[in-house]
């Protein structure tokens, strides 16, 4: 006799829209929601996982309303991003109130009270990591006994105690058979690469204590210590992925060199032919053998948090290294033909424009291919928050971005453009990027031409070269 469940058909809904500026969510699979959907297996009769970015017919609330009315008795909605928050709340309000509606995700955890206020049809909010909480909820356990749950009761909002972070081996990896679409790198509706990709989470947490980090603690103030899955389970998941490009979602994939080497050995032994992108710190340069194995296994892009070209700012951020150590690390990195993508933060507390404008030359000296620029931002439990709040002239806006009387949003925007332009638009930089992309087998030159990337490359390099020559001529003329 089949087991009877309280809920028959659960809808796991990713309620975002692609192609909107500043979302940062154009193409990544909804990994967090997929973990929740997988956790529901065996606790409900049927699961529908819908990514609204790929279901344009259901973006209209009326069509989704009709689908839910016909089929669904439990709705699980992920609100993980600050972008589109107002739009997502408006969308939720237009869904039917009859099914039980549960909301979760990082942004939902941060704004529990606001979601209950703005969305009368939301019955409960799952705070923090939600796999075990949603299982107990779907099983019909008494609400007051479910840790990590906030819910409505007799006109009041009840917040149960936080749920302790569970061991990573208890969390099943996402069941990708629940997906209704495939994922390719796109931006504003335009496919950037003809390669299907996926994300894999091989570990959770981080052993380092950078003061600016908004991910080392969740919105409940819980710091997830570094915990890693076994190399075998990670490679099993990679092998099962349909995509040929894997982006590791780990905060730092290279924490344990022996573990990384084991993963690489397994990939090589099984003959898995895929490309891998991963976050790293400069400490990875201490292990050349690990880097060599990683390249042989298919790792092609390392995303490195450099953060600043100033020792003073690096110390303030508690990065754990200085500019000399960064330079020393890159003498090792440059021996390996990875694509290096460096992250920098500008607009730090007390940072001068001169310190910010040192970034492009520092990045050029290191030999990185691309840079990502972010203004300083802090969340509720970010360790740097106390410094920002106690420094006269600084404030934090509603999105968590930090500004000051001297460096407001407009001025920081101009500085950002200057940093980017000085780094990117100089002779040879774009050619270096595309040559490395080709050599790393991410894209062939033929594919670049087909995608229309080569003409802008040569045009921008030509403009950068002419601009540099013009500047030199003018400088020489005025000197004499």
Query: pLDDT tens for residues 348-380?
Result: 999 999 999 999 999 999 999 999 999 999 887
- Beta-carbon contacts of 457 under 8 Å, excluding residues fewer than 6 positions away, are 430, 431, 434, 448
pLDDT at 317 over 60: yes
At residue 132 the predicted structure's pLDDT band, cuts being 50, 70 and 90, is very high
The CATH number of the domain covering residues in 195-424 = 3.80.30.20
| Domain limits, the chain | 9-159, 195-424
> What would the mean pLDDT of 135-147 be, rounded to a whole number?
96
pLDDT at residue number 479: 45
Instruction: Note whether 185 and 27 are within 8 A (CB).
Output: yes
> What would the mean pLDDT of 112-140 be, rounded to a whole number?
94
pLDDT at residue number 64: 85
pLDDT at residue number 110: 87
Query: pLDDT tens for residues 18-47?
Result: 655 544 456 788 989 999 999 999 999 999
Question: What is the residue-averaged pLDDT of the chain?
Answer: 87
The rounded percent of the chain whose pLDDT value lies above 70 is 87
Query: pTM of the entire structure?
Result: 0.85
pLDDT at residue number 468: 47
At residue 438 the predicted structure's pLDDT band, cuts being 50, 70 and 90, is confident
pLDDT at 448 over 80: no
pLDDT at residue number 151: 96
Query: pLDDT tens for residues 226-285?
Result: 889 999 999 999 999 999 999 999 999 999 999 999 999 999 999 999 999 999 999 999
Would you put residue 441 in left (φ > 0), alpha (ψ -120 to 50) or beta? left
> What would the mean pLDDT of 159-173 be, rounded to a whole number?
86
Task: Report how far residue 190's alpha carbon sits from residue 461's, in angstroms, rounded to the nearest whole number.
Answer: 23
User: What does the H/E/C string look like for the chain?
Assistant: CCCCCCCCEEEEEECCCCCCCCCCCCCCCCHHHHHHHHHCECCECEEEEEEHHHCHHHHCHHHHHHHHHHHCCEEEEECCCCCCHHHHHHHHHCCCCCCEEEEECHHHHHCHHHHHHHCCCCCEEECCCCHHHHHHHHCCCCHHHCCCEEEEECCEEEECCCCCCCCHHHCCCCCHHHCCCCCCCEECCEECCCCCEEEECCEECCCCCCCCCCCCECCCCCECCCEECCHHHHHHHHHHCCCCEEEECCCCCCCCHHHHHHHHHHHHHHCCCCEEEEEECHHHHHCHHHHHHHHHHCEEEEEEEEECCCHHHHHHCCCCCCHHHHHHHHHHHCCCCCEEEEEEEECCCCCCHHHHCCHHHHHHHHCCCEEEEEECECCCCCCCHHHHHHCCCEEECCCCEEEECCCCHHHHHHHHHHHHHHHHCCCCHHHHHHHHHHHCCCCCHHHHHHCCCHHHHHHHHHHHHHHHHHHHHHHHHHHC
pLDDT at residue number 303: 96
pLDDT at residue number 332: 98
Query: pLDDT tens for residues 62-80?
Result: 788 888 989 999 999 999 8
pLDDT at residue number 433: 84
pLDDT at residue number 202: 92
Task: Tell the CATH topology of 9-159.
Answer: Rossmann fold (3.40.50)
């Amino acid at each position: 006799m089949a087991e009877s469940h309280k809920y028959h058909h659960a809808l796991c809904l990713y309620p975002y829209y692609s192609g909107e500026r500043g979302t940062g969510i154009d193409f990544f699979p909804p990994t967090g929601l997929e973990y929740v959907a997988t956790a529901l297996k065996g606790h409900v009769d049927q699961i529908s996982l819908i990514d609204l970015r790929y279901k344009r017919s259901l973006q209209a609330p009326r069509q989704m309303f009709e689908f839910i009315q016909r089929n669904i008795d439990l709705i699980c909605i992920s609100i993980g991003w600050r972008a589109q928050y107002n739009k997502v709340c408006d969308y939720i309000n237009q869904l039917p109130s009859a099914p039980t509606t549960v909301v979760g995700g990082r942004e939902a955890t941060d704004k529990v009270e606001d979601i209950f206020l703005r969305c009368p049809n939301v019955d409960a909010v799952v705070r923090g990591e939600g796999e075990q909480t949603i299982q107990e909820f779907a099983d019909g356990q008494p609400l007051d006994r479910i840790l990590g749950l906030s819910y409505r009761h007799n006109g009041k909002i009840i917040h149960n105690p936080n749920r302790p972070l569970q061991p990573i081996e208890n969390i099943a990896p996402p069941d990708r058979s629940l997906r209704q679409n495939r994922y390719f790198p796109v931006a504003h509706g335009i496919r950037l690469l003809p390669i299907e990709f996926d994300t894999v989470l091989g570990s959770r947490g981080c052993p380092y204590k950078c003061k600016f980090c908004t991910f080392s603690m969740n919105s409940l103030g819980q710091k997830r210590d570094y915990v890693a899955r076994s190399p075998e389970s990670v490679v099993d998941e990679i092998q099962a992925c349909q995509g040929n490009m894997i982006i590791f979602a780990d905060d730092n994939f290279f924490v344990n060199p022996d573990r990384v080497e084991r993963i690489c050995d397994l990939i090589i032994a099984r003959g898995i032919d895929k490309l891998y992108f991963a976050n790293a710190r400069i400490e990875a340069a201490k292990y050349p053998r690990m880097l060599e194995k990683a390249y042989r296994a298919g790792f092609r892009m390392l995303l490195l948090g450099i953060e600043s070209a100033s020792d003073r700012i690096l110390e303030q951020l508690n990065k754990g290294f200085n500019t000399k150590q960064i330079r020393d690390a890159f003498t090792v990195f440059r021996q390996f033909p990875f694509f290096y993508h460096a992250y920098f933060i500008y607009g730090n507390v007390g940072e001068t424009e001169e310190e910010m404008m040192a970034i492009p030359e520092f990045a050029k000296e290191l030999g990185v291919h691309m840079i990502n620029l972010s203004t300083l931002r802090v969340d509720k439990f970010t360790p740097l928050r106390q410094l920002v709040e106690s420094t006269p002239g600084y404030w934090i806006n509603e999105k968590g971005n930090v500004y000051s009387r001297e460096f407001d949003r407009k001025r920081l925007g101009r500085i950002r453009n200057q940093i980017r332009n000085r780094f990117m638009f100089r002779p040879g930089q774009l050619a270096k990027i595309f040559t490395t992309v080709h050599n790393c087998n991410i894209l062939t030159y033929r594919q670049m031409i087909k995608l229309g990337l080569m003409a802008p490359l040569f045009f921008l390099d030509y403009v950068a070269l002419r601009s540099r020559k013009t500047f030199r001529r003018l400088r020489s003329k005025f000197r004499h």
